[in-house]
């Protein structure tokens, strides 16, 4: 896992007078029903150590996204035991999506799992634009 680039900038209060609302309205993505099965109990493969992770993503925003990357961190105690990444493509407003991913490695049971969306809400090209108007067909 490599962090390639981080940049910080001050938010212009004239451009975003209600920053908290702007942020919360666009980042209201939830992850629920997290279930991790280590390779020893997954039954996915006899020769490969395949861990399995299931969870459900819900886009509670009024926005459609072309893609939403999620960073997945598995913890054993206070240490990171495993890292993975999942990208939800074309995640629509109010959509609920069940996700199941597998990855190689001899991971044991995890104490905590964090699944965190990583989207830049300031970029216009992340949003799927609505086409049409009220009562119009696309």
Distance of CA 109 to the CA centre of its chain: 21
| pTM across the whole model | 0.82
pLDDT, tens digit, 9 for 90 and up, residues 49-93 = 888 999 999 999 999 999 999 999 999 899 998 899 999 999 999
Which one of 3.90.350, 2.40.40, 1.10.10, 2.60.40 gives the CATH number of domain 35-119?
2.60.40
C-alpha distance across the termini of the chain, in Å: 42
Domain ranges of the chain: 35-119
Largest CA distance in the chain: 59
Round to whole Å and give the CA distance between 25 and 20. Answer: 8
């Amino acid at each position: 896992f490599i962090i390639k680039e981080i940049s910080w900038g001050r938010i212009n209060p004239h451009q975003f007078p209600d920053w908290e609302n702007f942020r919360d309205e666009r980042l209201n993505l939830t992850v629920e029903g997290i279930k991790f099965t280590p390779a020893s109990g997954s039954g996915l493969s006899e020769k490969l150590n395949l861990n399995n992770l299931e969870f459900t993503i819900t886009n509670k925003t009024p926005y459609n996204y072309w893609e939403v990357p999620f960073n997945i961190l598995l913890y054993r105690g206070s240490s990171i035991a495993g890292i993975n990444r999942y990208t939800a493509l074309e995640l629509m407003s109010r959509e609920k999506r069940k996700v199941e991913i597998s990855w190689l490695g001899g991971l044991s049971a995890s104490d905590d799992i964090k699944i965190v969306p990583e989207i830049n809400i300031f970029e216009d090209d992340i949003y799927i634009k609505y086409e049409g108007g009220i009562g119009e067909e696309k």
